[in-house]
Amino acid sequence: MDSRTEIREFLTSRRARISPQQAGLPSYGTRRVPGLRRVEVAQLAGISVEYYSRLERGDLSGVSDSVLDTLARALRLDDEERTHLEDLARSDDFRARWARHDVRQHHIGTKPFRHPVVGDLHLTYEALDLTADNLTLVAYGAEPGSDSEDRLRLLASWASTLAPAPGHDPGHDGRRPPAPPVSRPLDAC
């Protein structure tokens, strides 16, 4: 049995065993199934009917502990049933997160770069293909103590001088440090 089916069957069976009278609710209309209606469970748990319906369809991904607590109280779950519900939620949430970030490839290597300011860099990299999102996450770094690490530090220092300072020239394009102001002799004015 898959987790969605197990969640659905668990919640519907627990809802079916509680009458409106047991829950302290008025009973109205003809009931096609025994127990509480979804709207009544949602009301008792303090959540929307749409949200409860999503949970009862088997989607517990991302559900908070506080919602699980109020749901357990609304359905009058004992300790064992509450633990089972929490286990189902953890299992469903883990599977949902893994499915959203399915990692198909993990590449590790080195790559040479030539930067116009600091010269040659030899960087290590790790690349993760996140196929569900159709993305590749790449992280570069230099080996500690290497020339490339020193050059990256120099590059970071140089780049920090590109940040606009108070009173900066608004026409400056940000690609290189602005030239210092030109001083002219007083008699040239």
Give CA torsion, residues 24, 29, 35, 39, to 10 deg: -70
Taking alpha carbons only, the member of 30, 94, 28, 22 closest to residue 62 is 94
Taking alpha carbons only, the member of 93, 136, 127, 92 closest to residue 108 is 127
User: Rounded to two decimals, what is the model's pTM?
Assistant: 0.51
Q: State CA 43 to chain mean position distance.
A: 29
Find the mean pLDDT for residues 143-167. Answer: 80
Task: Name the DSSP class of 146.
Answer: S
Q: What is the pLDDT of residue 166?
A: 54
Note the pLDDT tens digit of each residue in 134-149. Answer: 778 888 888 888 899 8
Find the mean pLDDT for residues 153-176. Answer: 66
The confidence band for 94, taking pLDDT boundaries of 50, 70 and 90, is very low
* CB within 8 Å of 163: residues ≥ 6 apart: none
Burial status of residue 146 (CB atoms within 10 A of its CB: 0-12, 13-18, 19 or more):
middle
3-state secondary structure 158-183: HHHCCCCCCCCCCCCCCCCCCCCCCC
Q: What is the pLDDT of residue 108?
A: 75
Q: What is the pLDDT of residue 22?
A: 93
Q: What is the pLDDT of residue 182?
A: 45
The CA distances from residue 40 to 21, 83, 119, 135, in Å, are: 11, 23, 69, 43
